[in-house]
Amino acid sequence: QKEVEQDPGPLSVPEGAIVSLNCTYSNSAFQYFMWYRQYSRKGPELLMYTYSSGNKEDGRFTAQVDKSSKYISLFIRDSQPSDSATYLCAMSGVQGAQKLVFGQGTRLTINP
């Protein structure tokens, strides 16, 4: 079993739809949770960073962490064609830990 599981998709939705992206994990030591967006042939771009359980909102993006279920989500409201990319979840343990563990990434396409 992988430490972090993420549905690779591809996921295709119409413009304006609400998108839900999810990851599950098995390591209860993870406390820092991140979502990255990666366009084709580019490096990942940090979208959201969350510590422990709870919600965090930034514009059209909302990140949720449920540590009891070992489940994290990223919601995109009013999706735009420019949101088409691969979304990677990542997580790490106690502060100071060096390694991020990534999910496989979900390929998302927003259709105009």
Partner 1 sequence: GAVVSQHPSWVICKSGTSVKIECRSLDFQATTMFWYRQFPKQSLMLMATSNEGSKATYEQGVEKDKFLINHASLTLSTLTVTSAHPEDSSFYICSARGGADTQYFGPGTRLTVL
User: Where along the sequence are the contacts to partner 1 (CB under 8 A)?
Assistant: 8, 32, 34, 36, 41-46, 49, 51, 88, 90, 92, 95-100, 102-105, 107
Which C-beta is closer to partner 1: that of 79 or that of 92? 92
CB of 45 to partner 1, least distance (A): 7
Residues 84/109, Cβ–Cβ less than 8 Å: yes
For residues 77, 53, 51, 28, the Cα torsion angle rounded to the nearest 10 degrees is: -120
Counted residue by residue, the chain has a size of 112
Chain position carrying tokens 């998108």? 19
CB of 107 to partner 1, least distance (A): 8
CB of 57 to partner 1, least distance (A): 18
Which C-beta is closer to partner 1: that of 49 or that of 75? 49
* Distance in angstroms (rounded) separating the CA atoms of residues 103 and 31: 15
Residues 57/4, Cβ–Cβ less than 8 Å: no
Which C-beta is closer to partner 1: that of 17 or that of 53? 53
